C-alpha cells in the first residue's frame, strides 16, 4: 500500500512538473562557464574539447576543421564609433535546466518555424545562446565590434550532428562584418540548431568573460549580403514615465520576411557583468517587405512599461527578429539598436 501511495505521489509530482513546462521552450542547460551542458534534443552536449573548427580569422595556427568559410569586410561600415554608447555585455548566465525536454527524434522544426530565432529571457553579449534553424550551404553573417582583448567564437550545435562546428572571429578592434558558409554535411533541409556566441578574455593571466558587441546576426540567403535588418533606431535617450513620455523605434528591412517581432530589452549589470533581459515584445502580423522602413509612418511607440504594464525603470535597447516560416525557406535575422533609452519614474 505504501509503495502504491509513493507511486501515486510520484506521478502527481511529474504531472505538476509537466503542467509547468512550456512545450515551446525545449530544454537547454548552460553552465556558468558559458558551455552548453544539454541541448533541446539530447541529454548531453558534445564534450568541450570535442570541437570542429569551421574557420579561423585574423591569423594564428591552423586548427582541424571539416567545413569551409568565406569572410569579407563591408567597406560601408565605419571603424569603432566614439559617439555611440557601448551596449551591455557580460558573462556567466546560468539558464538552468528548463523543463519540457524532448527526445532525439522529436521534430522541432514546425515549432521553431512558428517562433523564429529564440532567445532566452536573459542573455549577454559574451554568452548568447540562440535556438534557430539552419541548412547546409547556407551563408551566415555576423556584424560585431570586438574589443581586441577577447576570443569570440560562434559555436553551432545541430540536431543529428555529433560535433559542433565552431567559427572563431577576428578579434582586432573595430566594427566588422564577417560571412561564413555552413557545411554541406548539415543537409539541404531545415535542421534545428543551438548557436552559442561566446567571448572569453585573451590576455595573459586573465580569465573570464570577454567583450564583443553584437550588432546583428543572421543565417540564410535572405539574411546576408549585409545583415538584412539595418538602421535599428531607438530614441529619445531618456523618457519619464510619470510624464507619460514615449520612445520611438524604427528599422529598415533589406529582405522579405513573413514574420517579425520587436523586443525591448532592459540592461542590467553588476560587478562589470552586464546582461539584458526581455521587458516586453511586440509581434506584428503580415510580415515585412524588402525596402520597408518600419516605424516611421506611422510611428511605433513604447510607453516605458514591461509585459505586466509596470514601469520598466533603467536603460533599454531594441532587438528586432525577422524570419521565414517554411521548411524550404527558414532564413532568419536579428539586430539590435545602437542607442539606449533610459526610463525614469
The DSSP secondary structure of 63-123, one letter per residue, reads ---SS-------TTS-S--SSSPPPP----------S----TT---HHHHHHH-SEE-SEE
The Cβ of residue 94 has, within 10 Å, a number of other Cβ atoms equal to 13
Looking at per-residue confidence, does 146 or 242 come out higher? 242
Q: How large is the greatest C-alpha to C-alpha distance in the chain, in angstroms?
A: 75
Q: What cell does 229 get? A: 535588418
Q: What is the mean pLDDT of residues 216-232?
A: 92
Provide the pLDDT for residue 210. 80
Low-confidence winner among 64-73, 133-142, 209-218, 278-287 (lowest mean pLDDT)? 64-73
Closest among 151, 174, 155 to 73, alpha carbons compared: 174
**pLDDT-based confidence at residue 204 (cuts at 50, 70, 90):** confident
Question: What backbone phi and psi angles, to 5 degrees, belong to 72?
Answer: -155, 160
- The per-residue pLDDT for range 24-52, each reduced to its tens digit, is 445 678 777 788 888 888 654 444 444 44
Q: Give the SS3 label for residue 8.
A: helix
Over 80: is that where the pLDDT of 333 sits?
Answer: yes
β-partners of residue 283 are 261
CB 248 within 8 A of CB 295: yes
- The per-residue pLDDT for range 146-177, each reduced to its tens digit, is 888 888 999 999 998 889 999 999 988 889 99
Provide the pLDDT for residue 274. 61
Provide the pLDDT for residue 94. 34
CB 102 within 8 A of CB 41: yes
pTM confidence score:
0.75
Q: What is the mean pLDDT of residues 216-231?
A: 92
**pLDDT-based confidence at residue 5 (cuts at 50, 70, 90):** very low
CB 277 within 8 A of CB 121: yes
Phi/psi region, residue 23 (left: phi>0; alpha: psi -120 to 50; beta: rest), is alpha
Q: What is the mean pLDDT of residues 293-310?
A: 95
Residue identified by cell 568565406 is: 70
- The per-residue pLDDT for range 253-269, each reduced to its tens digit, is 999 999 999 999 999 86
- Say what percent of the chain tops pLDDT 90: 51
Over 90: is that where the pLDDT of 16 sits?
Answer: no
**pLDDT-based confidence at residue 225 (cuts at 50, 70, 90):** confident
- Is the CA virtual torsion 289, 290, 296, 297 positive or negative? negative
CB 326 within 8 A of CB 110: no
Low-confidence winner among 90-94, 145-149, 227-231, 271-275 (lowest mean pLDDT)? 90-94
**pLDDT-based confidence at residue 66 (cuts at 50, 70, 90):** very low
Rounded-to-integer distance, Cα 249 and Cα 268, Å: 21
Q: What is the mean pLDDT of residues 97-103?
A: 37
Q: What is the mean pLDDT of residues 186-215?
A: 86
Question: What backbone phi and psi angles, to 5 degrees, belong to 283?
Answer: -105, 150
Amino acid at each position: 500500500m505504501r509503495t502504491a501511495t509513493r507511486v501515486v505521489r510520484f506521478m502527481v509530482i511529474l504531472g505538476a512538473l509537466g503542467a509547468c513546462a512550456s512545450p515551446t521552450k525545449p530544454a537547454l542547460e548552460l553552465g556558468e562557464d558559458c558551455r552548453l551542458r544539454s541541448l533541446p534534443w539530447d541529454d548531453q552536449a558534445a564534450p568541450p574539447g570535442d570541437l570542429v573548427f569551421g574557420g579561423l580569422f585574423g591569423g594564428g595556427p591552423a586548427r582541424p576543421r571539416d567545413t569551409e568559410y568565406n569572410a569579407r569586410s563591408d567597406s560601408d561600415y565605419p571603424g569603432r564609433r566614439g559617439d555611440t554608447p557601448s551596449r551591455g555585455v557580460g558573462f556567466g548566465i546560468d539558464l538552468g535546466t528548463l523543463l519540457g525536454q524532448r527526445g532525439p527524434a522529436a521534430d522541432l522544426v514546425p515549432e521553431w518555424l512558428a517562433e523564429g530565432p529564440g532567445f532566452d529571457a536573459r542573455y549577454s553579449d559574451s554568452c548568447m545562446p540562440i535556438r534557430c534553424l539552419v541548412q547546409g550551404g547556407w551563408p551566415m553573417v555576423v556584424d560585431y565590434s570586438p574589443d581586441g582583448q577577447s576570443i569570440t567564437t560562434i559555436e553551432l550545435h545541430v540536431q543529428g550532428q555529433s560535433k559542433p562546428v565552431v567559427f572563431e572571429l577576428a578579434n582586432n578592434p573595430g566594427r566588422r562584418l564577417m560571412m561564413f558558409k555552413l557545411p554541406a554535411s548539415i543537409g539541404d533541409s531545415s535542421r534545428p540548431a543551438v548557436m552559442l556566441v561566446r567571448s572569453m578574455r585573451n590576455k595573459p593571466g586573465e580569465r573570464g568573460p570577454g567583450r564583443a558587441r553584437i550588432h546583428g546576426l543572421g543565417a540564410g540567403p535572405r539574411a546576408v549580403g549585409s545583415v538584412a535588418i539595418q538602421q535599428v533606431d531607438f530614441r529619445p535617450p531618456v523618457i519619464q514615465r510619470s510624464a507619460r513620455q514615449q520612445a520611438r523605434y524604427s528599422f529598415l528591412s533589406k529582405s522579405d520576411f513573413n514574420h517579425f517581432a520587436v523586443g525591448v530589452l532592459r540592461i542590467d549589470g553588476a560587478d562589470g557583468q552586464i546582461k539584458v533581459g526581455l521587458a516586453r515584445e511586440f509581434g506584428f502580423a503580415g510580415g515585412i517587405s524588402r525596402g520597408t522602413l518600419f516605424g516611421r509612418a506611422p510611428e511605433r511607440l513604447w510607453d516605458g512599461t514591461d509585459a505586466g504594464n509596470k514601469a520598466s525603470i533603467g536603460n533599454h535597447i531594441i532587438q528586432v527578429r525577422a524570419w521565414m516560416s517554411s521548411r524550404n525557406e527558414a532564413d532568419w535575422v536579428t539586430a539590435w539598436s545602437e542607442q539606449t533609452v533610459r526610463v525614469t519614474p
